[in-house]
C-alpha cells in the first residue's frame, strides 16, 4: 500500500511538472503540423511578445518609461474604484485580459483540425505525447526512473538507462533481466 501511494505521488509530481511546462510553454510552441516542438525559440517568442506589448513608439526598443507608462495605463484601466490600487477582483480582470491571447493560442494548439472546437482526443493528445516522450524506460508509466540523468555530460538522446548504444540492436551494455 505504501509503495502504491509513493508511486502515485511520483506520477502526479511528474505529470504536474509536465503540465506546468506545457502551460508555460505551449502558447506559440507548435510546429506546422500542430505538434509540440522540442526546444525551439521559446525565449525569442517571449522577448517578441514583451517588445510587442511594451514598445509604445514601435522603434524596436523598450525604455523603462514605456514599461512604466504601460503599467500605469493598465492600473488605471482596471482600478474601477479609483483608489490607486487593485483589489483581487480588479486584478483578476487585468490578469484575464493579459492572458486572453495566450488562452486563444493554447486553444488553437489543441484544435489541431482547426474546426473551432476541441475534442476529447485533441485535448488528450499533447499530454499523451509528452508521457510517451518522457517515458524513457518504455514501461508506459512516468516514474522517478524516467527522470533525466544528472551531470554535465549527459547525452542528448536519453534513451534507456543502461542502453549506451544508439544503433537499436539491443545488445550494448544492457543487463539481461532474465
Per-residue pLDDT of the chain (178 residues; tens, 9 = 90+): 544 444 444 444 444 444 444 444 433 333 333 444 444 456 777 788 888 889 999 999 999 999 999 999 999 999 999 999 999 999 999 999 989 988 998 899 999 999 999 999 999 999 999 899 999 988 988 998 888 877 665 555 444 444 444 444 444 444 444 4
Q: What's the confidence (pLDDT) of residue 7?
A: 44
Question: Does any domain span residue 152?
Answer: no
Question: Does any domain span residue 174?
Answer: no
Question: Does any domain span residue 51?
Answer: yes
Q: What's the confidence (pLDDT) of residue 168?
A: 44
Question: Does any domain span residue 159?
Answer: no
Question: Does any domain span residue 157?
Answer: no
116: CB partners within 8 A, 6+ apart:
none
Whole-prediction pTM: 0.43
Q: What's the confidence (pLDDT) of residue 146?
A: 87
Q: What's the confidence (pLDDT) of residue 147?
A: 86
Question: Does any domain span residue 56?
Answer: yes
Read off φ and ψ for residue 162, nearest 5 degrees.
Answer: -105, 10
Query: Is-contact 109 34, C-beta < 8 A?
Result: yes
Range of the domain at 125: 2-146
Q: How many domains does the chain have?
A: 1
Q: What's the confidence (pLDDT) of residue 121?
A: 96
Terminal C-alpha separation, the chain: 27
Question: Does any domain span residue 92?
Answer: yes
Is the dihedral angle over the CA atoms 72, 76, 81, 83 positive or is it negative? positive
Q: What's the confidence (pLDDT) of residue 54?
A: 92
Amino acid at each position: 500500500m505504501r509503495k502504491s501511494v509513493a508511486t502515485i505521488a511520483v506520477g502526479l509530481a511528474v505529470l504536474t511538472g509536465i503540465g506546468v511546462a506545457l502551460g508555460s510553454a505551449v502558447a506559440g510552441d507548435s510546429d506546422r503540423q500542430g505538434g509540440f516542438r522540442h526546444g525551439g525559440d521559446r525565449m525569442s517568442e517571449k522577448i517578441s511578445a514583451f517588445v510587442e506589448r511594451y514598445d509604445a513608439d514601435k522603434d524596436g526598443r523598450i525604455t523603462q518609461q514605456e514599461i512604466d507608462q504601460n503599467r500605469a495605463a493598465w492600473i488605471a484601466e482596471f482600478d474601477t474604484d479609483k483608489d490607486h490600487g487593485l483589489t483581487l477582483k480588479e486584478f483578476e480582470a487585468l490578469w484575464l485580459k493579459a492572458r486572453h491571447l495566450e488562452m486563444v493560442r493554447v486553444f488553437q494548439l489543441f484544435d489541431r483540425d482547426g474546426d473551432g472546437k476541441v475534442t476529447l482526443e485533441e485535448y488528450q493528445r499533447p499530454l499523451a505525447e509528452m508521457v510517451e516522450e518522457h517515458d524513457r524506460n518504455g514501461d508506459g508509466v512516468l516514474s522517478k526512473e524516467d527522470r533525466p540523468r544528472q551531470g554535465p555530460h549527459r547525452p542528448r538522446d536519453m534513451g534507456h538507462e543502461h542502453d549506451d548504444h544508439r544503433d537499436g540492436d539491443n545488445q550494448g551494455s544492457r543487463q539481461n533481466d532474465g
